[in-house]
Structure 1
Amino acid sequence: MKFIHLFGPLLITCVNTYAQKNIFPLPAGKVGIGTDSPTVQLDVRGEFSLGVLSSTGGQAYSIGLTRAGAQLYGATGNGLRLGGSLSNADVTILPNGNVGIGTVSIGQKLDVNGIFRSNGMVTLLGPGTASEPANTDKRGLYVDNDVSTSWNLLTLRNVAGTMMTVTGAGNVVIGANNRQGYKLAVDGTIGARRVKVTQESWADYVFLPDYKLPSIEELERYVTSKGHLPGVPSAEEVKSNGVDLGDMNKILMEKVEELSLYIISLKKQLDAQQAQITALQRQR
Structure 2
Amino acid sequence: MKFYLLLAFCSVSIAASAQTNTFPASGSVGIGTTFPRAYLDVATASLNTLTSVLGRLPEGNSDSSGSYLGVHTYVTQPGPCNSFSLEHKFYGRLNSSINFYRGGSYTGGFITFTTNNGTERMRLDDNGNLGIGTTNTGSYKLAVEGVIGARKIKITQASWADFVFDEDYELPSLAETAGYIKKYKHLPGVPDEAEVKKEGVDVGEMNKVLLQKVEELTLYLIEMKREQEEQRKVVEEQRRRIEELERK
TM-score (norm 1): 0.57
CA shift at 1:239, angstroms?
Answer: 1.1
Moved more, 177-186 or 238-247: 177-186
Contact 2:29/2:40 (<8 A) preserved: no
Q: Which residue, 187, 193, 199 being the options, matches 1:241?
A: 199
In 2: Cα distance, 1:206 partner to 1:199 partner: 17
Identity of aligned residues (%): 35
Deviation at 1:159, TM superposition (A): 4.5
Query: Structure 1 residues 193, 237: closer, same or farther in 2, change over 3 A?
Result: same
In structure 2, the CA distance between the partners of 1:118 and 1:212, relative to structure 1 (3 Å rule), is same
Deviation string for 1:90-138 (max 9, x for gaps)? x66739633223159xxxxx9x771553448xxxxxxxxxxxxxxxxxx
Does the aligned pair in 1 maintain the 2:23–2:30 contact within 8 Å? yes
Indicate whether 1:50 and 2:26 are aligned: no
Q: How far off its partner does 1:154 sit?
A: 3.4
**CA distance in structure 2 between the partners assigned to 1:193 and 1:228 by the alignment:** 31
One of 147, 153, 157 as aligned partner of 2:111? 153
**Deviation per CA, 1:25-80, whole angstroms, max 9, x where unpaired?**
xxxxxx343xxxxxxxx555x997438979xxx68x9xxxxxxxxxx73359x965
Aligned counterparts of 1:51 and 1:159: Cα–Cα separation in 2: 41
Higher percent of residues as strand: 2
Per-residue CA deviation, residues 183-211 of structure 1 (Å, 9 max, x unaligned), is: 11111000111111111110000000111
Are 2:209 and 1:251 aligned?
yes
Q: Look up the equivalent residue of 2:137 and give its one-letter code.
A: R
Q: Is the 8 A contact 1:156 1:165 kept in 2?
A: no
Contact 1:80 1:92 (8 Å CA) reproduced: yes
1-structure distance, mates of 2:200, 2:38: 56
Deviation at 1:240, TM superposition (A): 1.1
Q: Measured at CA, do residues 256 and 102 of structure 1 come closer, stay the same or move farther in structure 2, by a change above 3 Å? A: same
Conserved? CA contact 1:156–1:164, under 8 Å: yes
Paired residues, number: 195
Instruction: Report SS of the residue matched to 1:236.
Output: helix
Change (3 A) 1:79 1:235: closer
Q: 1:74 aligns with which of 21, 24, 37?
A: 24
Residue 181 of structure 1 deviates from its aligned partner by 1.1
**Does the aligned pair in 1 maintain the 2:164–2:212 contact within 8 Å?**
yes
Q: What aligned pairs does 1:98-247 form with structure 2 within 5 A after superposition?
A: 98-102=40-44, 114=73, 115-119=85-89, 147-148=106-107, 150-156=108-114, 159=117, 161-247=119-205
Cα 1:283–1:175 change in 2 (3 A) is: same
CA–CA separation in structure 2 for the residues paired with 1:160 and 1:279 = 83
Distance 1:160 1:254, change over 3 A: farther
Q: Is there any run of 5+ residues in structure 1 with no aligned partner, and where?
A: 1-21, 23-30, 34-41, 62-71, 82-88, 105-109, 121-140
RMSD across aligned C-alpha pairs, in angstroms? 3.8
Deviations for 1:204-248, whole angstroms, at most 9, x for unmatched residues?
000001111001110110011110000000011111111110000
1:117 maps to a residue whose letter is E
Structure scoring higher RCO (CA < 8 A, sep ≥ 6) equals 2
Structure 2: gaps of 5 or more residues: 47-53, 55-70, 74-84, 91-97, 243-248
Q: Contact between 1:101 and 1:113, CA under 8 Å: does it hold in 2? A: no
Shift of 1:163: 1.4
The structure with more radius of gyration: 1
| Distance in 1 separating the partners of 2:37 and 2:123 | 38
CA distance in 1, matches of 2:37, 2:238: 109
Structure number with the higher helix fraction is: 2
